[in-house]
């Protein structure tokens, strides 16, 4: 799927700049200004009308993007990328979704336009519920069952001049197709951040207005003028612009290390990690894992020190009982759930969470930031909802655990950003902390495009 491209201007010199859809960092190729973009609410984009002189108005669409996970009974866990758009107003038009248009047409930040923007009548909560509906649907899978039957020789008496060992018989195979139904019991959307896209529509006519697509000119619907005017009266001419922060450490003034999609940035002057909260930099507590070589790649994980009262999980001993493990069977200290702060395909993400949470790798506060760290792409708020899902994957008795997950409220006592060491071997990144875990390098590469 092609990424979205957003056209804007450098706030410093006014030069044109093209951004990626997930890009938080604006890097001007002309004046070399580097800024962190901070939206006031969701990012708001607009698709400009083909003929700007026409009296176009802009209708809002919610864009919901993330990774969707579903747990079923009989026990089964699935995940898939989710990327959907929903009309966020009550105007009756046929274009209820934007489809692939934002990939094919240049986008602009909506606050730069002087057109009319219709009000949002479908809130974000309703859009998220509509996104989760397909994840909550039962699925039926076709399976081919192959049954093997032994056919032994019969009618050979004991006194016959034949060695029965020479006639072990043949094998007959019987295959049949069965349909297995899975009922969903828990679903979760790992939300990567939502946005609004404003699409141009041109009204024409008298008492009953015909609406034309502002890009192609094709008819998309009709609406009564009184209803149209009522919505038009609530429209606004401008939307709040995004704020910016310079990519300089607020503690020492050093230039911050970043990737274009980074949620958190690093200062190698005072060795602090900075996140964004309420429009300003905040220092993030972080630790590093043991066993890393000098050339190790450190991948970021959110380490949640957690208890699950509904499952009677408070310590490593409880975790060992819950997962039917011999390891940690006598340890009474609290345990932590590890969730990647980067993006990979959903099923691999669940497997990573399971392996590291069972292994409980040791981490400690460092003196300095490791030499090579992978960018932090997901915030703790985004991934925290995965905690019940991880427990469901770890639990031994899934038939009993899965139906209880929707009512679980984890108690998180501490949240830390943990950088764990991996050794790059060409095709894989192999964990150096003792647990049997390797992550394909291509999974990291293509995960940034999910």
The number of angstroms, rounded, from the C-alpha of 128 to the middle of its chain's C-alpha atoms is 13
Q: What is the pLDDT of residue 167?
A: 47
Identify whether the C-beta of residue 69 lies closer than 8 Å to the C-beta of residue 77: yes
12 by Cβ neighbours in 10 Å (0-12 / 13-18 / 19+) ranks as middle
Sorted by where each begins, the domain ranges of the chain are 5-70+77-130+191-243, 139-187, 287-447
pLDDT of residue 150: 54
Q: Which of 24, 42, 43, 17 is nearest to 265 (CA)?
A: 24
Low-confidence ranges of the chain (pLDDT < 50): 153-156, 162, 164, 166-167
For 317, the token pair is: 């001993």
Nearest to 35 by CA among 182, 245, 219: 245
pTM comes to 0.87
Classify each residue of 219-237 as buried b or exposed e, where b means 16 or more C-beta atoms within 10 Å of its C-beta: ebeebeeeebeebeeeeee
Q: Which residues pair with 205 in a beta bridge?
A: 209
- Say how far apart CA 44 and CA 279 lie, in whole Å: 17
pLDDT tens profile 21-40: 778 888 888 888 889 988 88
pLDDT in tens, 73-119: 989 999 999 989 999 988 888 888 888 888 888 888 887 776 788 88
Residue 86 and residue 124 in contact, taking contact as beta carbons nearer than 8 Å: no
**Could you give the angle at the alpha carbon of 110 between the alpha carbons of 109 and 113, nearest 5°?**
110
- Round to whole Å and give the CA distance between 316 and 358: 9
How much is the pLDDT for 147? Answer: 72
């Amino acid at each position: 799927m092609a990424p979205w491209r957003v056209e804007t201007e450098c706030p410093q010199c006014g030069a044109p700049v093209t951004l990626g859809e997930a890009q938080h960092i604006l890097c001007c190729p002309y004046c070399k200004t580097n800024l962190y973009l901070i939206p006031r609410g969701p990012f708001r984009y607009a698709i400009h009308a083909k003929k700007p002189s026409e009296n176009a108005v802009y209708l809002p669409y919610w864009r919901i993007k993330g990774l969707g996970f579903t747990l079923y009974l009989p026990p089964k866990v699935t995940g898939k990328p989710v990327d959907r758009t929903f009309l966020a107003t009550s105007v009756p038009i046929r274009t209820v979704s934007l489809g692939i248009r934002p990939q094919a047409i240049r986008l602009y930040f909506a606050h730069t336009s002087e057109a009319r923007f219709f009000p949002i009548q479908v809130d974000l909560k309703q859009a998220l519920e509509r996104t989760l509906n397909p994840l909550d649907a039962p699925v039926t899978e076709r399976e081919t069952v192959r049954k093997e039957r032994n056919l032994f020789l019969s009618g050979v008496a004991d006194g016959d001049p034949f060695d029965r060992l020479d006639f072990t018989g043949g094998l007959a195979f019987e295959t049949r197709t069965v349909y297995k139904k899975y009922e969903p019991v828990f679903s979760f959307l790992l939300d990567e951040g939502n946005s609004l896209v404003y699409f141009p529509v041109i009204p024409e006519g008298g008492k009953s207005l015909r609406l034309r697509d502002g890009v192609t000119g094709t008819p998309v619907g009709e609406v009564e003028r009184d209803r149209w005017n009522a919505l038009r009266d609530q429209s606004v001419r401008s939307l709040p612009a995004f704020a910016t922060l310079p990519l300089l450490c607020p503690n020492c003034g050093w230039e911050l290390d970043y990737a274009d999609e980074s949620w958190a940035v690093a200062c190698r002057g005072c060795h602090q990690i900075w996140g964004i909260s309420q429009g300003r930099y905040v220092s993030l507590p972080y630790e590093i894992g043991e066993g890393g070589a000098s050339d190790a790649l450190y991948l970021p994980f959110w380490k949640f020190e957690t208890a699950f009262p509904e499952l009677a999980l408070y310590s490593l001993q409880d975790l060992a009982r819950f997962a039917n493990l011999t390891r940690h069977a006598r340890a009474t200290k609290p345990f932590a759930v590890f969730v990647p702060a980067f993006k990979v395909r959903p099923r691999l993400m669940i497997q990573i969470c399971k392996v590291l949470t069972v292994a409980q790798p040791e981490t400690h506060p460092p003196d300095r930031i490791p030499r090579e760290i992978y960018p932090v792409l997901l915030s703790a708020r985004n991934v925290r909802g995965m905690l019940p899902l991880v427990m469901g994957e770890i639990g031994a008795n899934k038939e009993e655990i899965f139906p209880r997950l929707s009512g679980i409220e984890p108690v998180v006592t501490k949240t830390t950003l943990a950088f764990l060491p991996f050794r790059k071997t060409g095709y894989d990144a192999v964990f150096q902390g003792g647990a049997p875990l390797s992550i394909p390098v291509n999974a990291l590469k293509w995960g940034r495009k999910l």
